[in-house]
Amino acid sequence: MRTETPPTVRLEDYRPSDHLIDRVELDVRLDPHDTRVTATLALRPNPAGRAGASLVLDGDNLTLLALELDGQALASDAVRADASGLTLHTPPPRPFTLRIETRLDPTANTRLMGLYRSGGVYCTQCEADGFRRITYFLDRPDVLSVYTTRIEAEREAAPVLLGNGNPVEAGTVPGTDRHYAVWHDPLPKPAYLFALVGGRLDRVAKSFTTMEGRAVEIAVYVEPGKADRAAYALDAVERSMAWDETAFGRAYDLDVFNVVAVSDFNMGAMENKGLNIFNDKYVLASPETATDADYAAIEAIIAHEYFHNWSGNRVTCRDWFQLCLKEGLTVFRDQEFSSDMRSRPVHRIAEVRNLRARQFPEDAGPLAHPVRPKQYAEINNFYTATVYEKGAEIVRMLRTLIGETAFRAGMDRYFADNDGTAATVEDFLAAFAAVTGRDLSRFAEWYERPGTPRVAVSGSYDAAARTYRLTFRQTRPGAGADAPPLVIPIDLGLVGADGPLDGARAERIENGVFVLETAEDAVTFENVAAEPVPSLFRAFSAPIRVESTLDAAARLTLLRHDPDSFNRWEAAQRIALGLMTAQVRSEPAAHAGADDFVAALGVFLDAEALRDPAFAAQVLALPSEGDLADEIGTEIDPDAIFRARRDLRRRLGTGLRARLLSLREALAEPAGTPFSPDAAAAGRRALRNAALDLIAAADPEAGTALAQAQIAQATNMTDRLAGLATLALLPGEAREAALSAFAERYAGEPLVLDKWFAIQAMIPEDGTVARIRRLQGHPAFAMTNPNRVRSLVGSFSLANPTQFNRADGTGYALVAETVLALDGTNPQVAARLMTAFGPWRRLEPGRRAAAETALRRIAATPGLSRDVTDIGTRSLAG
């Protein structure tokens, strides 16, 4: 493990590699403890590099067995090699071949980077810099090579052998119990997209014919005995392929596309060319084991990794500073796919909830960074919400700015101009500038500046002139006085007491969008008969914070009449935030308006609940404790926030009780109805379970009875888990009995037990820290499995604000202990756990001091990994 102080890598220091590798031939002889890798590299000097430069290959924890240059052994003084790298001091000034043999121990590789074993299955994870743990290499994304891989293993242990590209040969190794397979990927790729898999796996498959007439064999490989849970993932691959052809004109380019599910994986999935490797939680699904949220996540992540075939693989990133170029763009693409597969308004609300829960706090804390960072110490720590989610929002703004037709033309131009290359953000924007003739240099500022912009909005109505003027003023926290203003597209309209004011007109608004390009600007609407309510940033047209003077009455008008579903939901959220914030701050009018809010929600449910249950469920779901903390901003008291949200939930449950009970009855599925994960059925379940939550908040006794009955009668995991989650918030024997019964029922289902761990980790009670310590000793919990760690300790630190932020510091201590225990074996997971401390400076003084103590305890520990050192250093800086 690398424990040295991480060097700072800077974007401004980028220079092309001095050498290129045109072809890679790998011979991988798999063995649990003694895998041998022979890499034959066809190298040449890079004309864009430094003439006569030494060849410096990356390595990490490698054992070198043999090295040859053009078939000849090298003199000892011609090369320097150790576990962390190989330098050929004077390489030939012409094309040459290097043959390198290394030895690996996949079983001992607990970092889950490079080649490792998961449940007896050999697999790889090479992004960002894992290939250097397999062989010495130019392990950087701008070195693209054509790979041919021979994989050999014991047939009994690994009957399935998979690699990148297309299969070209397979056979038995004479005189042994071993067999081999050869795979060839004809398309150049960087080393981070290399993959292989070897193991005992079940397979489900189907054929797909591309729009170009290519027959593609799609297959999903899973743990033996679980093939029946791979059907939804297989269907999601097929739908993704068809959608990408229609939406972006992108066809698949190989003869096979394989997905493999493994149980030990640091991330969600990996887009290796033709061989996607997935965390099994994003592949395996059945009505008995997976919730509606699981099905939706499988669909989205399958799509995300497949879409990388073009936005990431065919066009990759020049360096890791351009990570947003593949990740932000591909998140946008998978969001569009999911919106088309499901409800676009509901999915947009979910996207914004996620952005505000993860990225806004990141942008406001010590780990803030631009979407395209200017420097990093450990690249693994920059797979963040800022790169992914905010990166996607920038792409969405670009589409809003130039229009859908021009956006599609720009995407076509980007793929055509950069196919087979390693591109930059500048290359991406140049494609859109070329097709529109627009100067996008100002828009590019979104990639360069950290922080969430604020836009203050004020309106004034002139009754005599029948005009309404909206004034916008943008600011950016932390931006210097000379920082240029951002280009912000504002999708907007006006709403009156009876509905949208379609007759109002304003100059400088195109297709409903006003573009704010200066620090302050205004737009005037004409033909406005009465004072309107502005509907601002429809569909959340820019990732900003809006500062508005709208009162609750105006927001209720938006809730009733705005044609934009997102802003209807946003109106309810803002009213709820206002009520809860007032209580936290002990303002005199803390409860004023609560009854009006309850009444308005009642009217909304009467009109909308059965017509669009999924949207109604979103409207009923109050802002989270994290949302409220983000609204308050400083001197945060998580206990006061918890009480305010609890009290408002009780008010809603009490005031809406009759309607909620009626809805639960109306939305119940008739006995014998087959389960479907489609959007309509999932929406009905979502509203029914939202009603259960509010009823239980207002009347724990009634909630307990309803939850128990729902668990007993449930025919799917969504309803069973919702009942258990409701009981988890209601202390008593019923809760503990339900938790025990659930654990017994699913004792052999690790992914379901993850849900059981998570529900208990999120119990907002004094005994939760002790409960987690007991659960860490549970037979199903393993610190070596990232899913188990995330479900228990990750859920606690990120989704239980009162107990993680306990005033006595025991929540921080628990997470700090876990970080330190993990760091020696899996520093990536340890570092990600540590990011939960991100908002610590915004807490009230007592908790702030306790969090700092925990952070400094971690930082002072000798021998920390680069991953954890980097997070600790940045968290404590300033």
Rounded to whole angstroms, the Cα distance separating 631 from 108 reads 46
Is 305 tagged catalytic?
yes
Q: In whole angstroms, what is the distance from residue 15 CA to residue 6 CA?
A: 20
CB within 8 Å of 710: residues ≥ 6 apart: 692, 719, 720, 722, 723
Burial 397-433 (b: 16+ CB within 10 A, else e): bbbbbbeeebbebbbebbbeebeeebbbbebbbbbbb
Beta carbons within 8 Å of 143's beta carbon, 6+ residues apart: 17, 20, 21, 190, 191
> What one-letter code names the amino acid at 643?
R
Give dist(CA 64, CA 67) in Å, integer. Answer: 8
> Which residue out of 127, 152, 223, 305 is catalytically annotated?
305
The SS3 of residue 845 is helix
CB 552 within 8 A of CB 593: yes
Exposed e or buried b per residue across 494-512, where buried means at least 16 C-beta atoms within 10 angstroms of its C-beta: bbbeeebbeebebeebeee
Please state, in angstroms and rounded to a whole number, the distance separating the CA atoms of residues 322 and 423: 8
Q: Hey, is 393 helix, strand or coil?
A: helix
Amino acid at 554: A
Burial track 832-870 (b if 16+ CB lie within 10 A, e otherwise): bbbbbbbbbbbbbeebbebbbebbebbbeeeebbbbbbb
Q: What CA–CA distance (Å, rounded) separates 568 from 383?
A: 32
Q: What residue type is 624 in one-letter code?
A: S
Angle formed at CA 118 by CA 112 and CA 121, multiple of 5 degrees:
125
CA dist 826 and 819 (Å) reads 9
Identify the bridge partners of residue 21 per DSSP, sorted by sequence position.
43
Short-list 295, 345, 380, 301, CA closest to 613? 345
Distance (Å, whole) CA 247 – CA 240: 10
What are the two backbone dihedrals, phi and then psi, of residue 223, each rounded to the nearest 5 degrees?
A: -55, 140
Question: What is the 8-class DSSP label of residue 214?
Answer: -
**Considering Cα of 582, then 586, then 592, then 598, what sign does the dihedral take?**
positive
Angle at CA of residue 776, ends 719 and 110, nearest 5°: 105
Give the catalytic positions in this structure: 305
